Structure 1
Amino acid sequence: MDVYLPIANLSVNGLVIVALGALTGILSGLFGVGGGFLTTPLLIFYGIPPTVAAASASTQVTGASVSGVFAHRRRGGVDYRMGGVMVAGGAVGSLIGAVLFKFLQSVGQIDTVINVLYVLLLGTIGSLMFREALGAMRARKGGAPPPARKRRHHPLIAALPMRWRFYRSGLYISPLAPLLLGMVTGALTMLMGVGGGFILVPAMLYILGMSAGVVVGTSLFNILFVTMVTTMMHALTTHAVDLVLAALLLLGSVSGAQIGTQLAAKVKPDLLRLVLASLVLVVALRMLWGLGVRPDEIYTVTLL
């Protein structure tokens, strides 16, 4: 079933795009993270231009985050004050990301920068996750439970001025910390099409020291609004959002997320983290290999 993508300016098999969306939806349901950090690389591997893949993936993440936010809201798992500060930072970060995106696009380096960012981020995060998951599995096999994580924010966070109370998160810290974290996430969302959950969740736990009960819900709350802003920025500045591509991805991810949620209840958490870390590392290595291989077409002509 061939479908023409007007912004990408090519025809693709619509069922393949739906299947890619379903795969990222399954991963999202299994591992509790947004599928944006895998959607963009998979689209690039399939032949979608990196600029269109990044812009359209953020649109998909917006739609996929809605149901998650409502589910966590019902059980009180969203810190709206913390989320609001991070969304404000994310809006500023998306503006910075838009300027960088246009500049890199004008000098013809945006595709390379997107690939390099994915290699660095996925390689680093995948390695840390793999080491942690492997250590936890070895500890359980030896009969010793893994050490409990101490909930404490980073010493640099404690040194920041003008503290606020974030009651749901159980924190008394400066709003500058979540504001800066939101800015970084917003810029990365604009450049890479990621929701930012795979960066936000560890940062909120280990840097801000947030309560684990509100981390995922607050992260989804931030992702929902930041991806909305970045989608609008892409539509107004880069004109790289392909609504046909985004609709096909969303169709697959909504159904895939339900399957992933059911599978998650049947598999051990440590094994899930190990599988996710391995998958992230495989994608990072594949993108690294693509950066070093001579392309089939050395020269391309595009309209900026």
Structure 2
Amino acid sequence: MDLYLPIAGLSVNVFMMIGLGGIVGLLSGMFGVGGGFLTTPLLIFYGIPPAVAVASSATQITGASVSGVMAHGRRDGVDYHMGAVLVVGGALGALAGGFAFRVLQAMGQIDTVVSLMYVVLLGGIGVIMARESIGSIMAQRRGERPRAQAKRHHPLIAVLPFRWRFYKSGLYISPLAPLLLGFATGVMTVLMGVGGGFILVPAMIYLLGMSTRVVVGTSLFQILFVTAATTMVHAMTTHAVDIVLAGLLLIGSVTGAQIGARMTQLLKPEYLRLILAFMVLVIAFRMGLGLTWRPPEIFTVQPA
């Protein structure tokens, strides 16, 4: 069953788009990521124009994040104080990213920039996560007891002024740190159509030193508001939001997020990180291949 997308200008299989949304929702609930790092490339591979894929993915991530935040909120797994600071930074970043998006779009370079950002960011994050996860799994198999590491934020964050207490996260740090982190995530959300969770979650753990109990829920809380602001920016500036495409993705993602939140209770954290790292690296490799590999015949004409 095919359905025509008015903004993208092509027809898509309805069940395939709903299934893609379900997979993304599952990732959202399991890992605290918006899932845009998977949605946007897959939509581009399907034939959706990159600008439409980026804008519509942000719309879909908003709905998936609502479902994920509700699931984690019921388990008291959201630090709303930390999330509010991240949201302010993310909203400012979304405005800056919207301006940059329009400039690149006018220059005709948005497709190349989006692909390059995916390769660099996903490749780097994927390698770091995979190395750490494999190290943890191998240590467990050798019977080594995991080292009890104290939750500490990065030394650069310790020198920032105006410290606040974030009780649920167990932190006493400057709000400037999560504000800047939220800003960077907001810029990426607009330019890449991602929630930014694949950057935000590791940064909250290793840079801010947040308690892992509230990392996933707080990440989804921030992603919810930033992607909503991003959708408004795209709707008013780039006009690239395809509401029909976003609606199809949302149908699957809302249900998938609830299932993913429950699955986090069944799998060990190191295995969850390894699965996420593998998916990130596969997407980065495919995007890099699209930038470098040139088919022998760019266009083929088949007789009627």
Normalization by structure 1: what TM-score? Answer: 0.92
Letter in 1 for 2:209: G
Aligned to 1:240: 240
Single out whichever of 201-210 and 101-110 deviates more from structure 2. 201-210
Post-superposition CA distance 1:48-74 (Å, at most 9, x none): 111111111111110011122223333
Matching of residue 38 in structure 1 with residue 38 in structure 2:
yes
Is contact 2:153–2:209 with CA below 8 Å preserved after alignment? yes
CA shift for structure 1 position 110: 0.3
Post-superposition CA distance 1:180-232 (Å, at most 9, x none): 11100000001111111111111111111122222222111111111110000
Q: Partner of 1:123: helix, strand, or coil?
A: helix
Letter in 2 for 1:9: G
Unpaired runs of 5+ residues, structure 1, are 300-304
Aligned to 1:69: 69
Shift in alpha-carbon separation, 1:190–1:34, aligned structure 2, 3 A: same
Letter in 1 for 2:96: I
Matching of residue 284 in structure 1 with residue 280 in structure 2:
no
Paired residue total: 299
Shift in alpha-carbon separation, 1:261–1:297, aligned structure 2, 3 A: farther
Measured in 2, the distance between the counterparts of 1:90 and 1:194 equals 12
Measured in 2, the distance between the counterparts of 1:73 and 1:265 equals 15
CA shift for structure 1 position 265: 4.8
Post-superposition CA distance 1:246-277 (Å, at most 9, x none): 01111122233344455555544433322221
**1:1-304 alignment, distance < 5 Å:** 1-261=1-261, 264-294=264-294
Post-superposition CA distance 1:254-304 (Å, at most 9, x none): 2333444555555444333222211211110010000013379979xxxxx
Letter in 1 for 2:3: V
Single out whichever of 160-169 and 22-31 deviates more from structure 2. 22-31
Normalization by structure 2: what TM-score? Answer: 0.92
Measured in 2, the distance between the counterparts of 1:216 and 1:176 equals 21
CA shift for structure 1 position 177: 0.8
Measured in 1, the distance between the counterparts of 2:257 and 2:71 equals 13
Letter in 1 for 2:101: F
Unpaired runs of 5+ residues, structure 2, are 300-304
Single out whichever of 288-297 and 117-126 deviates more from structure 2. 288-297
Single out whichever of 211-220 and 224-233 deviates more from structure 2. 211-220
Is contact 2:67–2:257 with CA below 8 Å preserved after alignment? no
Letter in 2 for 1:253: S
Aligned to 1:302: none
Q: Partner of 1:150: helix, strand, or coil?
A: coil
Letter in 2 for 1:249: L
Letter in 2 for 1:183: F
Letter in 1 for 2:196: G
Letter in 2 for 1:222: Q
